[in-house]
Amino acid sequence: MPLQKKLSCLFIFFASLLLTRAEVVPCNHKTPVCECTDPRDEVCEFTFDIEMLQTFTRYVVDDATGDSRGTAGSVWYINNDGEWERANSKDTLCGSSINSTNCTQPFGVDGYTFRSFIAVNGRIPGPTLIVTKDWLVKVNVINRLASESVSIHWHGMHQRNSNWMDGVEHVTQCGIPPGASFTYIFNATQYGTHWYHSHSGAQRTDGLFGALIVKESQSDRAKVRNEIGDFIDIPSQHTLTLLDWQVSNSIDLFTRIHSGIRYYNIENAAKLSSNPESRRTYSSDGAEVGPVPYWSGIINGKGRHRSVPYVNSELSVFEVSPGSVYRFRLIGAQSLYAYRFSIDRHKLTVIATDGQYIRPMEVDFIIIHSGERYDFLLQTENDTSQFNYLIRAVTMEVNDEENKNITEAILHYNTDSSTYPTATEYESIARSSQSDHVRCTETSNCTALNCPFLVYPQRYHISCEHIHNLRLLFPVSDSDLPTNGAKGRTSLFFNFGFEGISQTSAINARNLKLPS
């Protein structure tokens, strides 16, 4: 072969390498959002580094990679000025300032519980992945846990013709063993608000989860706005994940629940007989809410256990501007508890659930169970006399004092005259929030979407909108529906609940009684 021809072959070879290169999205412990914006050849590549870390701990950063490996750390806490401070002044490992670059940032999570969690790229929850519909997603998962295998389920992706990428350990794959890695490759064929989580044991409740946002194509975006009007859609800023946080990691908790002893929130076994916290909890209709008492909850990895003063906590803050319409995306990543979600003094216009647009429905509350997603539009106030509002998710337990079993975050109006809320302001923001008694009265009912029961007791003044009253905005394509041989098209919404103290189950609030 003449040299010239050889060279041109080489050229074509290298050119094709360039043309087929994916967008390798930098995803490390400093990136809470990994957005793939312009991949060549429509392939987005991410890396997930999975390791076990301890709350309230800063880890020495490995210079070579800029990542932590959980090998050497120093304990920090939030002081009465609302700032991180090292717990032990003799500990010089990470210096005396939280701004030292030697070490990773600490995660207080619920601001109270000193326990281990599973981090994806050094954080809880894992990074938000943002891609566009029909792009190929490649995620290289590296398992650095000491003894557990992992798997990652891409919740909401149908995985047609890629069933083996569904990420369910023991069902569609063998677990990824400690020290090993595995690359998931799938086509993001469903747009909307989705998420990813471990499908091994209960690892997702220890932190192994994150948001997976699939943006629509230009033309689909135009179609949606044509139907429901224009709105600001910034998934990197306005995506919320909800998780009830537990006293200890999932293996501990699982052992206790499955032995029937549930848990006892005390350290001294001699006090067990007088401890009231060993029981199950119930909601207003007598349904069981949780097999263990509620502990605390987090929104995007931050929250406040009820025994921690506001100033010693860290809450998530979501920024908006006045007089605009924003799309918010809500992801139910919970372990045991459903939440009733609301934003103080704002209505929520629900526009999508589980990746499907619906005809808009305005409500005060969205009840969200594990695995569910709801997208809503938020019309921000024009008048900016108040800059901060409480975002609340309250459990469905029968609560005697209001608002205690709750997880909180802040909606912040970012204007020329407002300043970003710090921990010293959390308490006053919470105090000025509108209680449910004030919001929902006999003359002005509230509406809750997705009640797991038919009605609320009268005293709540909340009426229920049920999930089977939702209507799709666009028909689902035939290929997306299960085929049952029937002519015509049916859209089915299922809401699974566990009703009554006899622990029978319900679908769309209807009970199936087994023949006896």
- Closest contact distance (angstroms) between CB of 123 and ligand NAG is 19
Among the listed residues 134, 230, 427, 480, the single contact to ligand NAG using CB under 6 A: 134
Q: How many CB atoms lie within 10 A of CB 491?
A: 13
State the binding string over 265-284 for ligand NAG (x if CB under 6 A, else -).
----------------x---
* Distance separating alpha carbons of residues 77 and 123, to the nearest angstrom: 17
* Phi, psi torsion values for 445, nearest 5 degrees: -65, 150
User: Look-up: residue for tokens 């600490």?
Assistant: 106
State the binding string over 199-238 for ligand NAG (x if CB under 6 A, else -).
----------------------------------------
Among the listed residues 179, 229, 286, 323, the single contact to ligand NAG using CB under 6 A: 323
* Distance separating alpha carbons of residues 27 and 238, to the nearest angstrom: 19
* Distance separating alpha carbons of residues 346 and 75, to the nearest angstrom: 39
Nearer to ligand NAG, 187 or 349 (CB): 187
Is residue 99 part of the contact set for ligand NAG (CB under 6 A)? Answer: yes
Nearer to ligand NAG, 404 or 471 (CB): 404
State the binding string over 30-69 for ligand NAG (x if CB under 6 A, else -).
------------x---------------------------
* Distance separating alpha carbons of residues 343 and 408, to the nearest angstrom: 10
CA distances from 231 to 221, 225, 330, 349, 379 (A): 11, 8, 16, 12, 9
* Distance separating alpha carbons of residues 186 and 477, to the nearest angstrom: 20
Nearer to ligand NAG, 99 or 273 (CB): 99
Nearer to ligand NAG, 29 or 143 (CB): 29
Is residue 187 part of the contact set for ligand NAG (CB under 6 A)? Answer: yes
Is residue 98 part of the contact set for ligand NAG (CB under 6 A)? Answer: yes
Structural contact between residues 62 and 153, judged by C-beta atoms closer than 8 angstroms: no
Is residue 445 part of the contact set for ligand NAG (CB under 6 A)? Answer: yes
Reported in sequence order, the residue ranges of 87-135 that DSSP labels E, i.e. its strands, are 116-120, 128-132
Structural contact between residues 447 and 366, judged by C-beta atoms closer than 8 angstroms: no
* Distance separating alpha carbons of residues 323 and 75, to the nearest angstrom: 43
Among the listed residues 32, 95, 309, 371, the single contact to ligand NAG using CB under 6 A: 95
Segment 397 to 436, residues that bind ligand NAG, using CB under 6 A: 397, 399-401, 404-405
Which range touches ligand NAG (CB under 6 A), out of 117-125, 131-139, 355-363, 425-433? 131-139
- Closest contact distance (angstroms) between CB of 500 and ligand NAG is 19
Nearer to ligand NAG, 144 or 347 (CB): 347
- Closest contact distance (angstroms) between CB of 22 and ligand NAG is 10
Alpha-carbon dihedral angle through residues 399, 400, 402, 405, given to the nearest 10 degrees: -40
How many chain residues interact with ligand NAG (CB under 6 A)?
Answer: 30
Is residue 73 part of the contact set for ligand NAG (CB under 6 A)? Answer: no
The full DSSP string for 42-88 is GEEEEEEEEEEEETTEEEEE-TTTS-EEEEEEEEEEE-TTS-EEES-
Nearer to ligand NAG, 73 or 201 (CB): 73
* Phi, psi torsion values for 427, nearest 5 degrees: -65, -45
Among the listed residues 140, 248, 384, 463, the single contact to ligand NAG using CB under 6 A: 463
Nearer to ligand NAG, 281 or 353 (CB): 281
Is residue 136 part of the contact set for ligand NAG (CB under 6 A)? Answer: yes
User: Look-up: residue for tokens 């090998």?
Assistant: 71
Nearest to 247 by CA among 267, 268, 261: 267
SS3 of residue 15 by DSSP = helix
Nearer to ligand NAG, 143 or 184 (CB): 184
Which range touches ligand NAG (CB under 6 A), out of 47-55, 68-76, 89-97, 231-239? 89-97
Sequence-ordered alpha helix ranges (H) in 237-304: 250-258
Segment 349 to 388, residues that bind ligand NAG, using CB under 6 A: 379, 381-382
The DSSP output letter for 94 is T
Is residue 97 part of the contact set for ligand NAG (CB under 6 A)? Answer: yes
Instruction: Give the per-residue SS3 of 479-491.
Output: HHCCCCCCCCCCC
Q: Which residue is nearest to ligand NAG (CB)?
A: 95
Q: Can you name the residues that pair with 58 across neighbouring β-strands? A: 74
Residues that bind ligand NAG (CB under 6 A): 42, 83, 94-95, 97-100, 102, 134-136, 187, 189, 281, 293-294, 323, 379, 381-382, 397, 399-401, 404-405, 443, 445, 463
